[in-house]
Structure 1
Amino acid sequence: MDFSIASILLLDGVTNGAIYALLGLATVLVFTVTRVIFIPQGEFVAYGALTLAILQTGKIPGTVWLLLILAAIAAAMDGVGAWRRHHNALATLKSALKTLVIPVVVAGLTAWAAPLQMPLLLQALLSVCIVTAFGPLVYRVAYQSLADASPLVLLIVSVGVHFAMTGLGLLFFGAEGFRNPSFWDLRMSLGALTLSGQAIIIMLTSVALIVLLWLFFERSLYGKALRATAVNRLGARLMGISSQSAGQLTFAMAALIGALSGLLIGPTTTIFYDSGFLIGLKGFVAAVAAGLASYPGALLGALFVGLVEAFASFWASAFKEVIVFTLILPVLLWRSLQGGHSDEEH
């Protein structure tokens, strides 16, 4: 291996690591606030990329129909809950309509805009809106009623949600893979290294999103509420912070990060309905390296995972996935020896 090959692999590793960093941050965010190890984070990546690919063909993506179905189920659950609390038809109707309004608006806008073949950036924005709307609905349907369950139960639910979203992805997108057009067709030669516009966009977007997340948690009231929920759920409830609203906001942010990651990675590789699982697992490895608690640790872990994957693809391409996922074993062993053991939270 000479310097030119090493520099190419280094750039590829940093580019992929930037995507894994976003997914690792989303995994840490969801776990600290809701105690959910969110395995289906990668499905949001696939949904984002495939939704944009379908919009490129001028058709209405299947995620719109899935969004409406999920919204109807969530609205029915909210309506039943409101009826049990108030026994009032008007309160029940308001609760159901509150859940339906955003998904219906997003679906209607998509149905109107899809045949118009709008510019790529507008289609990308619409794709992000569609997938982001999934987040609160997934939390409402699958997790909200189990918010006080043990982490093991929530993990089992996450496995079920993963298989459900993967199967629905096959139903609505088919088995065919898609690759989206690049957002910036720049080719910049730096000696033996060729820097693409898409790689620049990936790195700049990742840095910008990480900065925005930091500002959100440090400066905004909602961000501080999420931090309070992450530190002490009971204390946050006693201070008037709704754990249900915190969970829905957290899942909306996770879906937003997943959708953006799908749009960023879509032009660099072919995305299938089940491609998000492996991508999300690499972000999960980064999150585990950070102990599912540290945002800077997840960022550093993701960059390390990206670099290991890039160099492993050169030295042993057939085993690169094995090498990447083996990284989690010494980390878990070290944390087990360092942290000791405690009883499961009740």
Structure 2
Amino acid sequence: MDFSIASILALDGATNGAIYALLALATVLVFAVTRIIFIPQGEFVAFGALTLAMLQQGLVPGTVWFLLVMAGVAAVAELAAGLKAHLPPTRLLRRLAGIVVYPVAISLVAIWAAPLKLPLLLQALLTLALVTPFGPLIYRLAYQSLADASVLVLLIVSVGVHFALLGLGLFFFGAEGFRNPSFWDARFSIGPLTLSGQTVIIFLASVALIVALWLFFERTLQGKALRATAVNRLGARLQGISSDSAGSLTFTVAAFIGALSGLLIGPTTTVFYDSGFLIGLKGFVAAVFAGLSSYPQALLGALVVGLLESFGSFWASAFKEVIVFGSILPVLLWRSLRDPHSEEH
């Protein structure tokens, strides 16, 4: 291996690492606020890429029908809970409207806009608007009633949600894979490296989102509420911060990050309905490098995962996944020896 090949592999690893960094940040955020190890984070990636692919073909994406079904089920669950709690009719109607109005409105926009084959940027924005509501709906249906359950129970639920989303994704999107067009077709030569416009967009979008998340947590009331919930759920609740609202907002951010990651990675690889699992799992490995607690370490872990995957594919392409996922073992062993913990009661 000479310097030029190493540079190309390093660039490829850094590009993939930027995507994994976003997913790792979402995984750390969800776990910090809700104690949920969110296995289905990669499904948002697949939904984002496939939704854009169907809009590119002028078809109404399966996301529309999937979103309407989930909104309907969530509305029924909210209605049952409201009747059981004897909520006033006006308050119950406001809750139902909060669940149903946006999904129905954005679905009607998508049904109208799909045959028009809008410009790529508008289709990308529409994709984000369609996929992001899946986050709070999934939280409402699968996790809200189990908010105080143990981490193990929440993990088991996450595995169930993953398989449910996988099967429903196959039903609504089909088994065919898609590769989306690049957002920028420019080429830049830097020594032995050829930098594509899509690679530049991936780096810029990743940095912009990381900065936006920092500003959100540091400068906004909602971000500070999420930080308070992550530090002490009971204390935050005593200060008037709703744990349900915090969980719903966290899943909204996670769904947005996943959908954006799908838009960024769609032009670089063919995405199938089940492709998100491996992509999300690599983001989870990066989050484990950070102990599911540190955002800077999650970014560093994502870069390591990207480089391991890139160089592993060069030296032993058949074992690149084994190399990436096997790297988690020494990290877990090191953390176990470094931070011994007593059994929880």
Aligned 8 A contact 1:16 1:306 in 2: yes
Within 5 Å, which residues of 2 pair with 1:165-204? Answer: 165-204=165-204
Q: Calculate the aligned-residue CA RMSD, in Å.
A: 1.0
- State the match for 1:242 in structure 2: 242
**TM-score, scaled relative to structure 2:** 0.98
How far the C-alpha of 1:84 sits from its partner, in A, is 2.0
User: Is the aligned partner of 1:278 residue 2:258?
Assistant: no
The whole-number CA distance in structure 2 between the counterparts of 1:207 and 1:97 is 35
Within 5 Å, which residues of 2 pair with 1:182-331? Answer: 182-331=182-331
The whole-number CA distance in structure 2 between the counterparts of 1:342 and 1:102 is 46
The letter for the 1-side match of 2:56 is Q
How far the C-alpha of 1:92 sits from its partner, in A, is 2.9
How far the C-alpha of 1:165 sits from its partner, in A, is 0.6
How far the C-alpha of 1:78 sits from its partner, in A, is 1.2
Aligned 8 A contact 1:83 1:89 in 2: no
Q: Deviation per CA, 1:108-167: give whole Å up to 9, x if none.
A: 111111111100000000001111010000000000000000000000000000001111
Q: Deviation per CA, 1:199-231: give whole Å up to 9, x if none.
A: 000001001100100010011100000000000
Aligned 8 A contact 1:51 1:61 in 2: yes
How far the C-alpha of 1:87 sits from its partner, in A, is 4.9
How far the C-alpha of 1:324 sits from its partner, in A, is 0.3
- State the match for 1:139 in structure 2: 139
Aligned 8 A contact 1:63 1:172 in 2: yes
- State the match for 1:16 in structure 2: 16
How far the C-alpha of 1:94 sits from its partner, in A, is 2.8
SS at match of 1:340: coil
- Most deviating of 249-258 and 96-105: 96-105
Aligned 8 A contact 1:150 1:344 in 2: no
The whole-number CA distance in structure 1 between the counterparts of 2:80 and 2:177 is 40
The whole-number CA distance in structure 2 between the counterparts of 1:299 and 1:87 is 44
- State the match for 1:161 in structure 2: 161
- Most deviating of 230-239 and 331-340: 331-340
The whole-number CA distance in structure 1 between the counterparts of 2:85 and 2:12 is 54
Q: Sequence identity, in percent? A: 74
The runs of at least 4 consecutive aligned structure 1 residues that moved more than 6 Å come to: none
- State the match for 1:60 in structure 2: 60
The whole-number CA distance in structure 2 between the counterparts of 1:343 and 1:130 is 43
How far the C-alpha of 1:97 sits from its partner, in A, is 1.8
The whole-number CA distance in structure 1 between the counterparts of 2:132 and 2:25 is 16
The whole-number CA distance in structure 2 between the counterparts of 1:241 and 1:342 is 30
- State the match for 2:102 in structure 1: 102
The letter for the 1-side match of 2:213 is L
Runs of at least 5 residues in structure 1 that lack an aligned partner in the other structure: none
How far the C-alpha of 1:79 sits from its partner, in A, is 1.4
